[in-house]
Amino acid sequence: MFCYFCFSFNSLAQTASPTNPVTTNPNSINLNDGTIGSPTNGCPSGTSSAYVYGSGSTIRFGECVNTFAVTYAINQALQGTGVSIDKVHYQWKYIHCFNAPNQFCSQNISDRVNTTTGAVTDDTYWDELVVVVELTDSSGNVVETKTWTMDRWYDWQNENAHSFNEVKEGSTYWQIHEDNIEIYNHIDKTGTIRTPNAVGDVRFRISGYDKGNWDGYYGPIIKDFKTWFTYRANPCNDTALYDPSCPGYSEAYAQYEYNQSCAANALYDAGCPGYATAYFNQQCTADPLYDSGCPGYASAYYTQQCTADPLYDSGCDGYAAAYYTQQCTQNPLYDSGCDGYAAAYYTQQCTANPLYDSGCDGYAAAYYTQQCTANPLYDSGCDGYATAYFNQQCKASPLYDAACTGHFEAQCDASALYDIRCTGYDVAYLEQQCMYNPQYDETCTGYIEPIIETDPGTIVDDGTGTGDSIVDSVIALPVEIPDMIILPPAPAPAPAPVVVVVVPVEVEVTPVEITLEQELENEIANIEVAEAEISTSTTEENTTEVIVEPVEEITEETTEEVVVEEQTESESEGDPRGDQINESKEETTEEIVIDEDGSEEEVVEEKEEKKAPVIVKKTVKKPATKKVVKLSKTEKKKAKNKKMREIIKKKLALLAVTMGKAQSLENQQALQAQIAALINFVPGFNAYGKVAIPGVNFYQPEAIYLDEKVPENQRGLRNGLAQQILHEKMIDMQYERLTQ
């Protein structure tokens, strides 16, 4: 059975708004205003439905399931009072007879309940009684709900010790159920503030029936529904900030937060009081540079400028370092510690003098110009080479050319008979005539007084003579001294050109490290390329991997007798740098070393007397024929090693000659090292160094004597110098043997 009732109460219509909470008196609800609803399919035949009796105070349920509902209108009871509702109170009374088949109410009750506590132990026939209390808003929407269910047994005929609230009316003990729905808790600030206008009704929905199915009204009985309220003056009228449920709370709270924020910090919003001053102070505090009127502006400005550029003022922190960096950036040559100093210094030196280093741009041209300037004889392409060469030859021997200064005097010194103007010409001429004919002059050695001629007429010839016809015939000849015409001797021949040995001006050059084997490999490669070109022209197109090996030269020597006539002075003049051969005259070869300062030093002088005519043997060599041979890989390797040995042999010869001309101890030592390297060089030996034997580094490398310096052995220095002097003497002895 469902019972529904609505109840309107307007006794608080004009209640004043109290400050403290006020509770109204209970008001009874007339159940006649409610409605009873039947089950969906109605009550079964023979069952009893619920009904209201006792002038609308009581409702009784039978074995049919019914629902009863009643409503109490709160918005009419408290309308316009300016109050808010804290609680909605309600109360009712009920009794119950726990029937079972053939067992009425309390008969054998202990079989179904715990009589001490009232707890149901067997609910098979336990009657149903449920009350749902609902609170709606002004639109009829349920906003609060509470449900009560009868779950404990009470004896309606006797006092119940386990009951907390019961009343005896006549001979019946009624259980009283009282409760409330709390709309808002002002202590905990929970719930929703609701005014009478914001709420609608209090609804009671009661459902119950006799589950024991006894015919008649043996189900639960409920009566005396009452309701009342606790209310107070609506705090939202004082301030909408009282609770978020207050009308206008959002706007009030926003304004509150705004005011609080402005109070806490005037910079919260530009509309806050004192915003302009606070903003100025804030900016000045954050950055004194915000305005020139900020405290500490001058100091902050100085710091800012120094931070941005330490060069702003010499008093700035880091000024020295920044100044150093600036100078280094503008010119890395400012200090040797500047980044890029080495490169800039190198560039500077190369710009100032390309001879600073062999890597400088223009080094070759500058070196050439330097050598030519220091000595035009450095190269035939030097400006003034011809003049310098001529002057050198004239200085070595004025006889070199008729245009040489002192040429006439040199000719006179060579032979006073060269010209009648020569000093001592008369004496030399007399000696010459006397040599050919002592009778030329009385002062000649071997001069014989002339025989006085006898007149032949005075000689008496007895006709016999001397008896010797030959003698007689000689006697018969007249005695005459013939006149001898002797030509003056030819001018002294021009000497052979002096060998020019130019010592280049020393310029330190950092050598590029090239291993000996690489150098030999390069030379072999060049040779192989040249030979390959020859072989290509002499072999067939399908020939591969060939090497051209020279066959031993077969020369045919043919001896030609060539008569070399005497050369005149004009014939002996030629290229100052060429070789001159004068077979009939005295040939002088002088080797002159031109030092860096231009002075000349005579090294070797060779004289050789030659007489004309001379028979010269000329050996004519025919070019060796070549053959193309296919070589295997092993033979090619052997041929390569053979070439390397030939190259080493030639290289040793060149180095020996070069070492003999070396001027400094360092150069000689460097050459000696090269010679030693060539002597010790074994082709292919480096391949052994590339073979790695697997192993383990048992000991980690550790540098020692880092702070120690091993002194030079002065005795060793002295001994090395002595060896060097001896070495130079030995070299000089070789040349002495050549000149002998």
pLDDT in tens, 538-566: 444 443 333 334 333 333 444 344 333 33
State which of 46-50, 348-352, 511-515 shows the largest mean pLDDT: 348-352
Report the range of poorest mean pLDDT among 80-89, 324-333, 406-415, 683-692. 683-692
Distance (Å, rounded) from C-alpha 140 to C-alpha 318?
81
Does pLDDT of 702 surpass 90? no
Tens digit of each residue's pLDDT (9 = 90 or more) over 126-154? 989 999 999 998 888 999 999 999 999 99
> Hey, what's the torsion of the CAs at 573, 574, 578, 581, to 10 degrees?
-40
> Which is more confident, 315 or 71?
315
pLDDT score for 319: 92
Does pLDDT of 10 surpass 60? no
pLDDT band at 671 (very low <50, low <70, confident <90, very high): confident
Half-sphere exposure of 447 (CA within 13 A, CB side): 13
Query: Are 2 and 206 a contacting pair, CB within 8 Å?
Result: yes
pLDDT score for 273: 92
pLDDT score for 141: 92
Across the range 120-128, mean pLDDT stands at 91
pLDDT score for 157: 92
Contacts of 234 (CB under 8 A, 6+ apart): 17, 82, 83, 84, 193, 195
Does pLDDT of 18 surpass 80? no
pLDDT score for 169: 93
Helix or strand holding residue 329 (H, E): helix 319-330
> Which is more confident, 451 or 215?
215
Positive or negative torsion for Cα 693, 697, 698, 703: positive
For helices 665-680 and 714-739, what crossing angle results, to 10°? 80
pLDDT score for 510: 46
pLDDT score for 522: 61
Helix or strand holding residue 197 (H, E): none
Distance (Å, rounded) from C-alpha 124 to C-alpha 109?
13
Does pLDDT of 602 surpass 70? no
pLDDT score for 40: 60
Report the range of poorest mean pLDDT among 530-534, 683-687, 734-738. 530-534
Does pLDDT of 567 surpass 50? no
Across the range 78-101, mean pLDDT stands at 86
pLDDT score for 155: 93
Query: Are 301 and 287 a contacting pair, CB within 8 Å?
Result: no
* CA proximity to 244, closest of 188, 190, 187: 190
Tens digit of each residue's pLDDT (9 = 90 or more) over 389-411? 999 899 889 988 988 999 998 88
CATH architecture of 2-233: Sandwich (2.60)
Distance (Å, rounded) from C-alpha 119 to C-alpha 532?
124
Distance (Å, rounded) from C-alpha 495 to C-alpha 414?
12
Dig out the tokens for 631 from the structure.
């070589």
Across the range 94-113, mean pLDDT stands at 89
Bridge partner list, 590: 605
Mean pLDDT across the chain: 75
Quote the pTM value: 0.40
Does pLDDT of 586 surpass 90? no
pLDDT band at 696 (very low <50, low <70, confident <90, very high): low
Q: Please report the beta strands in 269-318, taking only residues with DSSP state E, as ranges in sequence order.
A: none
96: helix, strand or coil: coil
Across the range 28-32, mean pLDDT stands at 88
Q: For the chain, give every domain's residue range.
A: 2-233, 249-287
pLDDT score for 171: 93
Tens digit of each residue's pLDDT (9 = 90 or more) over 177-215? 999 999 999 888 899 988 888 888 899 999 888 887 787
Distance (Å, rounded) from C-alpha 345 to C-alpha 353?
12
Tens digit of each residue's pLDDT (9 = 90 or more) over 229-253? 898 888 888 888 888 989 888 999 9
pLDDT score for 697: 58
pLDDT score for 251: 92
